[in-house]
A and B are shown apart, each in its own frame.
Chain A
């Protein structure tokens, strides 16, 4: 019991230190790049500002203070749920982030689930058919997908499905002239989601496929699968009920690690499809040197990545009981 409490305490301390370090880096990163937010806000008119006017504008956003004071204010703000005011939007950072978050969760979350499920199934199939034409075709397709830049895939998808076939809209999250029914709205969102989702899934599926294929190949060499076959189970049952489930650990690891990126958005895909998610927002904020917004977005990203790691730590024993704290220590002894 005591060792368990110690392990939990140690874990909390580790994550606490990680969080503080990440927050510090998040605060400092935007300042490393040269620039200030006033140019974006006013354009050339910023060059007509007097020293006093410039100071007045910076004061509005708390950017007139020495950097260490800004850092302390930033940390105190976080403890009170205050992330400051976006220079680009003149709105609380939390409001701006919340406005974009659902679209990113929808796009990147869907792509993560889809690429994981399809990549795992195809990886399993490829391993099962190791060396034959199916395996070769799947391997070629996935390595190609893994190698293709997302922006290129996106442009290809637009060329085919928008410009040539005209099946899908080319931008946005919903039609600006959609019907008035709720179902119509959901359908419009789904239609607008299709191409960015396809692009992002293609961009991500290669990695999952390769991990799944390798993991299933390793599992297929285990004695218990030989025993399963000896029992007379069909190939389908051997693959789906025994080989795949016992190959999930590396896939689950990748899935949970990628969970953290769900709120980071997908800058390239969101840009190509003008999908107003967090990725596009972070890109815009970086261009505009919107320090409060960048810091807020990085904070959300950091917390999510750490939360994903915690989730992985907590749920790992569920998939592999050997990884519980006690067992790990015994194994080490």
Chain B
């Protein structure tokens, strides 16, 4: 008996020891380095995000465009701030020139250098553009390989790079130069497999990423010798808080200074009444949409898609689901606030015309049960799939189903886990599903064209004479004005036979603690969280504004 007792005490001691040991073990991981590392910032600006980039901003691993604002802290583009503005301003290129229909030159800055002290050169630009064109696929690749297709990239001298396209490329500067981050040749030249590279990034940007803890945070320190001017904030920490409830609790309790995610509509009033916060509206140039399986009958009929798009009351959906704090998707696709979108397009709510069109197609309710049938007698009954982790999408799906059922198209909303939703595109096992898309998809005109070739909005292998003819015209245009004219014609055609039905354009309000930082500005497509909010007003350019209208 005595022996058993003493052994139990030993077990207890061992357990306590293990617990303490585990505490120390946990403490000895990078977290300890983080808290004991270089000048940990009691004054660091804390901008929480809901998404883990998965790497120290390796552009191959963290390729998704939702991480662009973080990558921009480290890297610069030839032109700035993005392709989503009327006229980009100089970035790493101080000047760009269109030599002829297919040739451009970019003259680079001579006063920029990499974070490791190496000088920035024209060779870095040549290397980057070739690397993105010929290396493993990223979201940037099509800007150099297909729309447009840059055939040759070469350094003419130490400060000049020449680009030769396979067909006229009038928007090369406005779009491609303003989108692709420039990476250092002296670092990436030695990287064997870029998709597995885990080194901290070396950029030319206003901030240097000094620490990345997966699932926890990223820490940036200011690049005091940044060529555009010293950043306003010395240290930026981006905590990763995936759960939105936890994220906004952290904001309210003062654990973070702002969140890169817009406030949920239901919490706006609460933050407005809190004196510790300032709220500003800012467009993210994104949209929530219904995607249509245009390869499946009857969605393969242009007129059927027209009727579908006119049968959904998007204003009511916004009023109910978003409490009116978004713009109804009646203004069509792409995003109406993009400078590259025609202003005379739309997908307005016209239920009577939708019914008439369905009648003309021969889709009538022959048995009087309220559901239309095809001329062959098959009921028009569809499923609208929606990701299970998006409560606003689920509610919207229910309302869409009611609207479509009201015009005789029986529709059932069905939730799927987000991973399964992501697979629908390749499996094509769907009628319709709800998802969202970032500015890269709906504010970038080259992506709009590319999406008609890749399968997202259309598949280039499927015959579509009206579109194909416009595409050939588009390829031959040699000026921005001419290209816009054809592009707008493409957009009109698209909205008459849409394969994407915008439900709403988010117009989020962002909350921040002014005592932490109050120099926020809006950059189209990025909201207020981007590097320009952390740089002096004098270098921000005309497209980045703090008027918040």
Contact = CB atoms under 8 A, between A and B. Distances in A.
B547 to A, nearest CB: 31
A48 B456 contact: yes
The SS class assigned to the A binding surface is: helix
Nearest to B418: A287
Interface residues of A, number: 74
A155 interface: yes
Interface string A249-282: 0000000000000000000000111101000110
Contact of B35 (A49, A174, A281): A174
A185 interface: yes
Interface stretch (B24-32, B158-166, B506-514): B24-32
Contact of A91 (B5, B28, B198): B198
Contact of A286 (B240, B252, B419): B419
Interface of A: 33-36, 39-49, 53-54, 56-57, 60, 85, 88-91, 96, 99-100, 102-103, 105-106, 109-110, 113, 155, 158, 162-163, 166, 169-182, 184-186, 188-190, 245, 271-274, 276, 280-281, 284, 286-289, 318
A59 to B, nearest CB: 10
A245 B11 CA distance: 13
B23 A39 contact: no
Contacts of B441: 44
Most chain A beta-carbon neighbours within 10 Å: one of B7, B18, B422: B422
B119 interface: no
The 4 closest A-B pairs by CB, nearest first: A276-B215, A45-B139, A39-B422, A35-B423
Contact of B440 (A44, A91, A177, A181): A44
Given A171-B246, A185-B35, A271-B243, A35 B419 contact: yes
Given A39-B425, A109-B19, A176 B237 contact: yes
B157 interface: no
A43 B61 contact: no
B16 to A, nearest CB: 8
A56 B246 contact: no
B469 interface: no
A280 B241 CA distance: 11
A90 B196 contact: yes
Interface string B263-291: 00000000000000000000000000000
B246 A105 contact: no
Contact of B34 (A35, A43, A171, A176): A176
B235 to A, nearest CB: 9
Interface residues on B, range: 35 or more
B326 interface: no
B423 A178 contact: no
B364 interface: no
A189 B26 CA distance: 9
Contacts of A103: 26, 29
A169 B418 CA distance: 29
A89 B214 contact: yes
B91 to A, nearest CB: 22
B398 interface: no
Contacts of B19: 109-110, 113
Contacts of A33: 417, 419-420
Contact of B136 (A34, A57, A100, A105): A57
Interface string B435-458: 001101100000100110111100
Contact of A169 (B58, B198, B255): B255
A43 B451 contact: no
Contacts of B71: none
Interface string B394-435: 000000000000000000000001111011011101000000
Contacts of B250: 169-171
Give the most central of A33, A179, A274, A286: most B CB within 10 Å.
A274
A102 B28 CA distance: 9
